[in-house]
Amino acid sequence: MDQLRIKDLEVYAYHGVFAAEKELGQRFVLDLILEYDMTRAAKSGDLTASVHYGELAQELVKWSQESKEDLIETLAYKLIDRIFLAYPLVRKISLEVKKPWAPVPLPLDTCSVRLQREKYTAFIGLGSNQGDKSANLSAALEKMAEQNIRVLQASSCIETEPWGGVEQDPFLNQVVEVETWLNPEELMQTLLAIEEDLGRVREIKWGPRVIDLDILYIGKQEIFSPDLIVPHPYVAERAFVLQSLLEIAPHFVDPVQKKSIRKLWSEVEK
């Protein structure tokens, strides 16, 4: 991927755990690498297909001075967030925040942290069978957009019978493809927070719920941890999920089953 680099940009700001650091301030140094496709800009001279590094440098200075953080990790994270929001064409960011005047009583050149984040796509399943189901799905999508989860495409909403053996009202279900730079654990925690904010209460497994947000796929990744399993362990068994996926991503290949969504759908449809 093509790269734009801003090296050793000096910023005077007010970050640190000590009161004097926040009061007097000190010098920080930023080393930034942005990755995005520069082909269109290079061939046509179209400035809208590029990142104006002069403007970005000024923005970095302004953003660095807007708050006073205890940790330079927090500063780096917030700067990455602002860059992704301001420059949608950027796919990957590597940012090092250096603190050459770190209050350490030892001979050292600098202390620094380096954060790297990259955009990826994921498929998320939505479901609701309490209250205004359609409004619940719409509210969830709005809250996702507020949390750096951009919807690329959405399936139709379909009414489905409950899955899991618990007697309850029919569901309204939908699948969306999203783009985000949140890491998988952050994505999961963000979706859980949205569920809670919309009033979901977890009482009965596979029971009725105001909103249900499931991570189905994260690209071709396979994740198995105590808190997150991707692909979703039941995705190949749930016809209503496959039906929605078929509408927006029929040729996507399940990394575990090694079969396309079209093929998985044909197997459960029988």
Which tokens is 141 given? 């999508």
**What spatial distance separates the first Cα and last Cα of the chain, rounded to whole Å?**
43
> CB-hemisphere CA count at 13 Å for 240?
16
Question: Which single residue is written with the structure tokens 């942290």?
Answer: 113
The pLDDT value given to residue 22: 94
Per-residue pLDDT of the chain (270 residues; tens, 9 = 90+): 999 999 999 999 999 999 999 999 999 999 999 999 999 999 999 988 999 999 999 999 999 999 999 999 999 999 999 999 999 999 999 999 999 988 888 888 899 999 999 999 999 999 998 889 999 999 999 999 999 899 999 999 999 877 655 666 788 999 999 999 999 999 999 999 999 999 866 655 655 778 999 999 999 999 999 889 999 998 988 888 999 999 999 999 999 999 999 999 998 876
Active-site residue 99, yes or no? yes
The pLDDT value given to residue 210: 87
Q: Is the peptide bond before 231 cis (omega within 30 degrees of 0)?
A: yes
Q: Which amino acid is at 265?
A: W
Which domains are seen in the chain, by residue range?
Answer: 3-118 (3.30.1130.10), 120-269 (3.30.70.560)
Among candidates 174, 72, 151, which has minimal Cα distance to 115? 72
Given the residues 98, 99, 133, 143, the one annotated as active site: 99
Strand partners, 148: none
Distance CA 134, CA 174 (A): 10
Question: What does the DSSP assignment read for 76-101?
Answer: HHHHHHHHHHH-TT--EEEEEEEETT
pTM of this structure:
0.87
Question: Which single residue is written with the structure tokens 């050292």?
Answer: 108
Alpha helices for the chain (secondary structure H):
19-24, 39-44, 53-64, 72-86, 133-146, 184-197, 239-248, 261-269
Which CA distances in Å does 260 have to 122, 124, 165, 242, 267? Answer: 16, 17, 28, 10, 11
